[in-house]
Structure 1
Amino acid sequence: MRNLIAALFLLAPLAAMAAPAASESERLKQWLDERYEEELAFHPEKQTQLGRKTDYDKLDDYSEAADDAELQWHLDSVAAMEAAFDRDQLDADARVSYDYWAYRAERAVEDRRWRRNHYLLNQMSSVHTGLPQFLINYHTVDSQQDMLDYISRLKGVATALGQVQEQVELAAKEGIRAPRFAYDIVIDQSQSVVTGAPFDDSEEAAALWADVQGKLAALQDSGDIDASRADELRALARKALLDAVAPAYRSLIAWLQQDRANTDAEPQGASSLPGGQDYYAYRLRSYTTTDMSAEQVHQLGLAEVKRIRSEMEAIRKEVGFDGDLAAFFEFVRSDARFYYPNTDAGRQAYIDETEHYLDLIADKLPEYFGILPKASLEVRRVEAFRERDGAAASYSTGTADGSRPGVYYMHLSDMSANNRTDLQTTAYHEGNPGHHMQSSIALERSDLPLFRSDVWYSAYGEGWALYSELLAWEMGVYDNPYYNFGRLGAEIFRAIRLVVDTGMHAKGWSEEQAVQYMLENSAIPETSVRSEIQRYLVWPGQATSYKVGMLKILELRERARAALGDKFDIRAYHDLVLGGGSLPLGILERRVDEWIASQV
């Protein structure tokens, strides 16, 4: 494989020069698409997420050796690009692609240095829950071969989980461990995956087994297989679950239980790790795509919290609440009117109201966007095996051809953690005009190199989604002051993140100190607050990306408005920001500045 890739690199410049009729920019797009196909060969799971069925029987290689091979490939690709193309001959958008491709390689080099500092197993987004979710939600079964590929992937779970466990064990030998609470949650989540039939005598099927049954039933209903073949495939899948999946999860659970005593019962920030100060500085650079220091991020957070509190005070007075802002926080946090009952009917009502607000904004979108997504959006409760009380909502991208919708997932196991004042804002963050529009529009742009439609940077991605919350208010779809208070609550929540993330990881704050700061400055239910703070502890820096990105997008909008005056078109600005894919903020800023210059 590596020899083949090396040969392709040697031929790439010659292939590029063989098409003199194409412009330098057109040739670069074609070249980058070819390179990205090579990159995708490292990632069978990503191919599936893109709606393809290539390498459909394989999972990613999670070993450090595979990581090293991909890094070397990427560095070689940058060298080949620099040799094959004259950057000065590229148009503005192609220069973005050129610089972006090189930026990703630079980032990968730095990430390689710190890979053992990452908590590869955590309660938020790790292979132990990611693989079942991937198989259930992404691996579609439309034929008998698809089911055989699914079974091959079930067998591959043992290797993938084992590779991650090996990396976690290596990190532990270097004194790098996730906090004890993360071990406990990962143990519980892993046990949930292998609980139920066929793993034990339960009548209720485990999530993967239920998925197998459902997909086989669909194949029978379509006439692709008969009952006898369905039984054969069912037996093969059952064997893979018992012989591969179960032992891998039980090995992981056993190691975590054995190593748990070595973890910190009182969580420590990233700076407590070997090389921790430098590691956290890297995490901030990585997630904000800026050179902001921890102190700069912390001070920005304090200033934003102060500003937003003043706007929240205005709403407290508007609704006539008799008490200070702290009392108003407690009122909104605890009053029964702001919660649906903790029943299936209450959960459905929460989903129904979310869909109502998404429908409400849909009619307004053409006034603010020239390009709208073709992909549909669905609202779903997350699967039981990964659902957690108070956990954050999330969005899962659909496919460019519309064969799989974008999905807004919400955790509804404990309705007391789902305050209704957050409902409307979160719908716009995860759905439209937030993540769904952002991801779908980028995927549906055929004129961009594919990697720009597919690669994700949190400062841009989460920054846009947070900007979307403000934009929705500007669009006039809020008619309830309490829900507008929820919008401000969501914004102050992201400002608080700047304070508590840097507080815990750079300033020595305790988990409880961070919890109390969030409770004192927001109306977020305590269950959610504690879940959030634990999220920041295992994802150093990630939580800072939202507000940093949002403020940059807003700053660039107002820069364009000031420069263009009556020529400023909000739809054109939004199309520009969404149409370039998920860009590092520095490259996004240059792109906007060049657009402004072209409009004057």
Structure 2
Amino acid sequence: MSKLQAFIDTTNDRDRKMPITLNNPLIPGLLAVAIFTGCQADRGTEATALTDKVQSTPAEAPVTLDAEAETHRLTEWLDARYEEQLQFSPMQLSYLGRKELYDQIDDMSEAAEARRLAWMEKTVADLKKHFHYDKLTQEGKNSYDIWHFQFEQARAAEPFKRHGYIFEQMGGSQSQLPNFLLNFHKVDTIEDMQAYIARIGGISRAINQLLERAELAAKAGIRPPRFAFEGAIEQSSKLIDGAPFKNGDDAPLWAGAKGKIAALLEAGKINQKQADKLTADARRALETQFLPAYKTLISWLKEDMQKASAQPQGASSLPDGPAFYNQRLANTTTTKLTADEIHNIGLKEVARIRGEMETIKEQVGFKGSLQEFFTFIREDKQFYYPNTDMGRQSYLNDSKAFLNDISTRLPEYFGLLPKAELVVKRVESFREQDGGAQHYYPGTPDGTRPGVYYAHLSDMSAYSTTDMETVAYHEGNPGHHMQISIAQELEGIPLFRTQAHFTVYSEGWALYSEKLAKEMGAYEDPYNLFGHLTAEMWRAIRLVVDTGMHAKGWSEEQAVEYFLENSAIPETAVRSEVRRYLVWPGQATAYKIGMLKIQELRRQAEEQLGDKFDIRGFHDTVLGGGALPIPVLESRVARWVKSVQGA
């Protein structure tokens, strides 16, 4: 019996009561997408325990004595099912760099979600019928378990399909849909541009479908805090501000369309007559489809906002809120930790990190309390770039320099290295937020689109220079870019696993990477080392604040006050963070829980292997199977330890 299956058995009854949501870059409950807005939004695909024993094999299932052959057969079957799954999501195909269904946007309706769930249920029934679990290799068993795992996620999510906030200030659909078209719809031919124009209409249809879902949620008493409405209204308004809708600078999608058409013309792939027609068609789609959809959305948001609480409340205030929040914790951490347990882990971590911060304070010779040192770091101008275009460019340039330097040291700590390119960019103006979380978007598996580390730079006073080094390692290498790129480049496992995403794993790895960077020789400046501790403290505070607001009745101001008392993070960023936790219940707890688990697994391996412990082997083991829920990761590392012991 695998460790995952043991976890299944012990959590069976509990998890039937706590549904979860699959994640999509747009709204919970849709087809899983491995876009990591990580720190964004990161709303990664989240995990819960399976509710059935998956190792049982029906009598009619064919038995293959050769485990490798049976596993190969399973891999081929899973690849075929994954291809079917992709056909539900034209957008996911585009994220992967493919151009099938290139003129379409996903069906965002509840009916479409139900059809996907029914399809997933049938695949699991077929999986159990046609494959002999005990005759698979261990890697094959992992693939079997994870496929079944993801179905259980979707099935358990169904009762809570209206609990996820669709339109909000962080990763709301109103900004993510246009962002998809601008950044992930590549135009190489006239047909690609025609598909871009068709997708403008598709976005308009999707916004109308999502609005219907938001209206149903509101009728059930589920609506986000008022600030989320305000953010969604602001972002939506920016998308229809300017040409071709009114006088002024070009609106984002209009600028995108004109730029793509101009590039085709310059490359000689279209003539002027074709360019004129494409331009006219794009204008027509924006004016007759996109504009009405967004005007209707903004109107409804303004009206419904009046019914939203001006004093934000946690998830427990929603209908079935406590059960919903418990499930969010279960699926984001893939553990059985309760809100109280997570809260207490956070308190202990905050106390530990404060001690390390005191050491740095003394090292730099600061005379005063730690709280006064926080104020000094938060307010002294030496720790901030100018709030100018030159200051913003300096932030990007210095982030690139940190990443270039750490990349030269990677071979000493990793055998597996990413092939994909990494770039650092500023967030697009229509979705940029003061103090918004820096985040990462993966590249394509074939490397034609690089991974991108995005930085919000509209207010440079929100980002201390002391923090930027550790953020670069988290979002880039050896963090998200490295982990996700390696996963996408893996061979010998089913394709769906190269795109799988479990928040506790991906965010746990990225946070582990921040500390690993110190081991690799980073943070030569003691203030940057303090910034690293600030970032770790940030994630420890999340355990306290997230559970505080969603399970213990804390107010937004209580959360902000606790944050400021225990970190040097600028208040603008603190308030943005607290509001992020309010609209994404439980997500922020995954970072520290995942990091602590990876650190625990490493300590255990070091103790068990002694002189045989190899850091490259450990890291390759953690990264070499793609993103995994905690029980599977534990089993994978345990097997590696045994193999080294027996060598």
Q: TM-score range by the shorter chain?
A: over 0.9
- Superposed counterparts of 1:155-166, under 5 Å: 155-166=201-212
Contact between 1:96 and 1:591, CA under 8 Å: does it hold in 2?
Answer: no
> Which of 329, 332, 339 matches 2:384?
339
1:178 aligns with 2:194: no
Q: Secondary structure at the match of 1:35?
A: helix
Q: Secondary structure at the match of 2:187?
A: coil
- Superposed counterparts of 1:97-176, under 5 Å: 97-176=143-222
Q: What is the alpha-carbon distance in structure 2 between the residues aligned to residue 274 and residue 74 of structure 1?
A: 28
State the TM-score, normalized to the length of structure 2: 0.89
> Which of 565, 589, 592 matches 1:547?
592
Question: Amino acid of the residue matched to residue 132 of structure 1?
Answer: P
User: What CA deviation, in whole Å up to 9, does each residue of 1:339-364 have, x standing for no partner?
Assistant: 00000000001111101101110111
Matched residue, 1:8: none
Higher helix share: 1
Matched residue, 1:215: 260
Matched residue, 2:6: none
Q: What is the alpha-carbon distance in structure 1 between the residues aligned to residue 257 and residue 281 of structure 2?
A: 10
Q: Secondary structure at the match of 1:408?
A: strand
Q: What is the alpha-carbon distance in structure 2 between the residues aligned to residue 476 and residue 228 of structure 1?
A: 58
Matched residue, 1:576: 621
Matched residue, 1:10: none
> Which of 351, 355, 371 matches 1:326?
371
1:199 aligns with 2:221: no
> Which of 438, 459, 463 matches 1:414?
459
1:402 aligns with 2:447: yes
1:296 aligns with 2:341: yes
> Which of 184, 187, 204 matches 2:233?
187
* Range that drifts further, 309-318 or 587-596: 587-596
1:36 aligns with 2:82: yes
Q: What is the alpha-carbon distance in structure 2 between the residues aligned to residue 448 and residue 419 of structure 1?
A: 42
Q: What is the alpha-carbon distance in structure 1 between the residues aligned to residue 567 and residue 524 of structure 2?
A: 21
User: What CA deviation, in whole Å up to 9, does each residue of 1:506-558 have, x standing for no partner?
Assistant: 00000000000000000000000000000000000000000001111111111
Q: What is the alpha-carbon distance in structure 2 between the residues aligned to residue 21 and residue 474 of structure 1?
A: 40
User: What CA deviation, in whole Å up to 9, does each residue of 1:101-153 have, x standing for no partner?
Assistant: 11111111111111111111111112211111111110000000001111110
> Which of 25, 34, 37 matches 2:71?
25
Matched residue, 1:256: 301
> Which of 344, 365, 369 matches 2:414?
369
Contact between 1:396 and 1:408, CA under 8 Å: does it hold in 2?
Answer: yes
Aligned structure 1 segments of 4 or more residues deviating by more than 3 angstroms = 13-22
User: What CA deviation, in whole Å up to 9, does each residue of 1:183-207 have, x standing for no partner?
Assistant: 01100000011111111111x1011
- Superposed counterparts of 1:512-531, under 5 Å: 512-531=557-576
Q: What is the alpha-carbon distance in structure 2 between the residues aligned to residue 286 and residue 100 of structure 1?
A: 14
In the TM superposition, residue 15 of structure 1 has moved relative to its aligned partner by: 13
* Range that drifts further, 443-452 or 494-503: 443-452
Q: What is the alpha-carbon distance in structure 2 between the residues aligned to residue 235 and residue 390 of structure 1?
A: 38
Contact between 1:270 and 1:279, CA under 8 Å: does it hold in 2?
Answer: yes
- Superposed counterparts of 1:268-287, under 5 Å: 268-287=313-332
Question: Amino acid of the residue matched to residue 467 of structure 1?
Answer: Y
Matched residue, 1:493: 538
Q: What is the alpha-carbon distance in structure 2 between the residues aligned to residue 448 and residue 235 of structure 1?
A: 46
Q: What is the alpha-carbon distance in structure 1 between the residues aligned to residue 509 and residue 503 of structure 2?
A: 9
Matched residue, 2:612: 567
Contact between 1:358 and 1:427, CA under 8 Å: does it hold in 2?
Answer: yes
Contact between 1:355 and 1:379, CA under 8 Å: does it hold in 2?
Answer: yes
In the TM superposition, residue 19 of structure 1 has moved relative to its aligned partner by: 13
Q: What is the alpha-carbon distance in structure 2 between the residues aligned to residue 287 and residue 120 of structure 1?
A: 19
Q: What is the alpha-carbon distance in structure 2 between the residues aligned to residue 558 and residue 479 of structure 1?
A: 25
User: What CA deviation, in whole Å up to 9, does each residue of 1:566-596 have, x standing for no partner?
Assistant: 1111111111111111111111111111221
Q: What is the alpha-carbon distance in structure 2 between the residues aligned to residue 73 and residue 599 of structure 1?
A: 41
Q: What is the alpha-carbon distance in structure 1 between the residues aligned to residue 240 and residue 449 of structure 2?
A: 27
Question: Amino acid of the residue matched to residue 369 of structure 1?
Answer: F
- Superposed counterparts of 1:8-19, under 5 Å: none
> Which of 286, 289, 293 matches 1:244?
289
Q: What is the alpha-carbon distance in structure 2 between the residues aligned to residue 174 and residue 200 of structure 1?
A: 37
Matched residue, 1:3: none
**Structure 1: tracts of 5 or more residues without a match:** 1-12
In the TM superposition, residue 399 of structure 1 has moved relative to its aligned partner by: 1.1
Q: Secondary structure at the match of 1:117?
A: coil
Q: What is the alpha-carbon distance in structure 1 between the residues aligned to residue 185 and residue 250 of structure 2?
A: 19
Question: Amino acid of the residue matched to residue 298 of structure 1?
Answer: H
Q: What is the alpha-carbon distance in structure 1 between the residues aligned to residue 400 and residue 67 of structure 2?
A: 50
Contact between 2:508 and 2:593, CA under 8 Å: does it hold in 1?
Answer: yes
Contact between 2:189 and 2:269, CA under 8 Å: does it hold in 1?
Answer: yes
* Range that drifts further, 563-572 or 323-332: 563-572
In the TM superposition, residue 494 of structure 1 has moved relative to its aligned partner by: 0.1
Q: Secondary structure at the match of 1:385?
A: coil
Matched residue, 1:386: 431
Contact between 2:68 and 2:137, CA under 8 Å: does it hold in 1?
Answer: no
* Range that drifts further, 564-573 or 514-523: 564-573
> Which of 504, 521, 525 matches 1:476?
521
Q: What is the alpha-carbon distance in structure 1 between the residues aligned to residue 186 and residue 239 of structure 2?
A: 20
What RMSD in Å do the two structures reach over aligned CA positions? 1.6
Question: Amino acid of the residue matched to residue 127 of structure 1?
Answer: S
In the TM superposition, residue 413 of structure 1 has moved relative to its aligned partner by: 0.4
Question: Amino acid of the residue matched to residue 288 of structure 1?
Answer: T
* Range that drifts further, 442-451 or 337-346: 442-451
Q: What is the alpha-carbon distance in structure 2 between the residues aligned to residue 198 and residue 89 of structure 1?
A: 62
Distance 1:333 1:77, change over 3 A: same
Q: What is the alpha-carbon distance in structure 2 between the residues aligned to residue 80 and residue 404 of structure 1?
A: 35
Contact between 1:16 and 1:27, CA under 8 Å: does it hold in 2?
Answer: no
1:464 aligns with 2:509: yes
In the TM superposition, residue 446 of structure 1 has moved relative to its aligned partner by: 2.4
> Which of 41, 52, 58 matches 2:98?
52
Q: What is the alpha-carbon distance in structure 2 between the residues aligned to residue 459 and residue 22 of structure 1?
A: 30
Question: Amino acid of the residue matched to residue 300 of structure 1?
Answer: I
Matched residue, 1:592: 637
Contact between 2:315 and 2:325, CA under 8 Å: does it hold in 1?
Answer: yes
> Which of 49, 56, 62 matches 2:108?
62
Contact between 1:96 and 1:587, CA under 8 Å: does it hold in 2?
Answer: yes
> Which of 301, 315, 321 matches 2:360?
315
Contact between 1:132 and 1:208, CA under 8 Å: does it hold in 2?
Answer: yes
In the TM superposition, residue 438 of structure 1 has moved relative to its aligned partner by: 0.6
User: What CA deviation, in whole Å up to 9, does each residue of 1:319-350 have, x standing for no partner?
Assistant: 00000100000000110000000000000011
Contact between 2:61 and 2:129, CA under 8 Å: does it hold in 1?
Answer: no
In the TM superposition, residue 455 of structure 1 has moved relative to its aligned partner by: 1.8
Question: Amino acid of the residue matched to residue 84 of structure 1?
Answer: H
Contact between 1:16 and 1:31, CA under 8 Å: does it hold in 2?
Answer: no
1:88 aligns with 2:166: no
Q: What is the alpha-carbon distance in structure 2 between the residues aligned to residue 172 and residue 548 of structure 1?
A: 33
Q: Would you say how many aligned residue pairs link Structure 1 and Structure 2?
A: 587
Q: Secondary structure at the match of 1:587?
A: helix
Matched residue, 1:538: 583
* Range that drifts further, 161-170 or 581-590: 581-590
**Structure 2: tracts of 5 or more residues without a match:** 1-58
Contact between 1:326 and 1:521, CA under 8 Å: does it hold in 2?
Answer: yes
Q: Secondary structure at the match of 2:454?
A: strand
Q: Kindly, what percent of the aligned residue pairs are identical?
A: 55
Contact between 1:144 and 1:225, CA under 8 Å: does it hold in 2?
Answer: yes
Question: Amino acid of the residue matched to residue 228 of structure 1?
Answer: K
Q: Secondary structure at the match of 2:162?
A: helix
Q: What is the alpha-carbon distance in structure 1 between the residues aligned to residue 235 and residue 587 of structure 2?
A: 22
Question: Amino acid of the residue matched to residue 591 of structure 2?
Answer: Y
* Range that drifts further, 446-455 or 539-548: 446-455
In the TM superposition, residue 20 of structure 1 has moved relative to its aligned partner by: 9.2
